[in-house]
Structure 1
């Protein structure tokens, strides 16, 4: 079976009542990642590691009640605090070249965060990731 990399992408925008630096730093802090990188009900993150420099790697182990352990990893491509963070996205459900871009802008009352994830193997995968990222952004707001 061949997986074809597509140009499917998704974009989500949220306004969080926190300064951009605080929102940005949460994505590079393993303790914070363990608290908000839970894309589904009952999920936990028993392990999170980061090497927050361009070219550095991160690793997040998500644990799902039904599916078990779901390892995620990536490489930081751009770290422009507190405006932009770009990293590759490697998971059991991703394809080569999949990247996530976080663009942060200060707005009245906090930060507008735009998450753009590109390259999915299928429409179904994109829809699943959209649900997962939506839950993660919700948890990020609650965690901060």
Structure 2
């Protein structure tokens, strides 16, 4: 039996669930954390926040082999479910690296004055699932930490 590879990361935030939810859909906040890499620059952050709406985020990042050079990496998808402030689900595609979309679900649970976000990314049936799992888990973990910083900066 073949199964999908699922990335699952969690992070607690010291702000209301509504603030965390809204950050994912507000281009001014999202460009501070959404798919941003260390040393990179978000050159485009377009978000149409509705069911079947889309997003495109382009990160210009230095090349590992030659930090004086850079590559632009596009991240895109469309929103499948928006249930403020508890859930956002969307398709996800890296056109330069993937032939098919994957699925991401964000569940946001209020906890006292704050909340906890659980992110699940279904990588699908990948032959190199172990390598993809590690990279995706690291990327989402860094992104959720950057979200925390973006929320503090906009508070």
TM-score by length of 1: 0.90
3-state SS of the aligned residue for 2:134? Answer: helix
For 2:51 and 2:35, how far apart are their aligned partners in 1? 24
Contact kept? 1:93, 1:125, Cα under 8 Å: no
Deviation (angstroms), 1:140: 0.3
Q: How does 1:63-78 map to 2 (within 5 A)?
A: 63-66=60-63, 68-78=71-81
Deviation (angstroms), 1:95: 5.1
- Check if 1:8 corresponds to 2:5: yes
Q: Which runs of 4+ in 1 moved over 6 A?
A: none
Contact kept? 2:104, 2:120, Cα under 8 Å: yes
For 1:95 and 1:10, how far apart are their aligned partners in 2? 19
Match 2:27 to one of 30, 52, 73: 30
For 2:25 and 2:120, how far apart are their aligned partners in 1? 17
For 1:43 and 1:29, how far apart are their aligned partners in 2? 20
Equivalent residue, structure 2, for 1:46:
43
Larger radius of gyration, structure 1 or 2?
A: 2
Contact kept? 2:36, 2:143, Cα under 8 Å: yes
Contact kept? 1:6, 1:119, Cα under 8 Å: no
Q: 1:26-84: CA deviations, max 9, x gaps?
A: 00011111111245321221110011000111100011111510001001000000000
Contact kept? 2:21, 2:85, Cα under 8 Å: yes
Match 1:83 to one of 79, 82, 86: 86
Between Structure 1 and Structure 2, how many residues are aligned?
140
Q: Which runs of 5+ in 2 are unaligned?
A: 64-69
- Check if 1:119 corresponds to 2:116: no
**Cα distance, 1:125–1:46 mapped onto 2, change above 3 Å:** same
Contact kept? 1:38, 1:135, Cα under 8 Å: no
Contact kept? 2:81, 2:90, Cα under 8 Å: yes
Which deviates more from structure 2 when the two are superposed, residues 36-45 or residues 114-123? 36-45
RMSD, aligned CA: 1.7
For 1:137 and 1:43, how far apart are their aligned partners in 2? 16
- Check if 1:59 corresponds to 2:56: yes
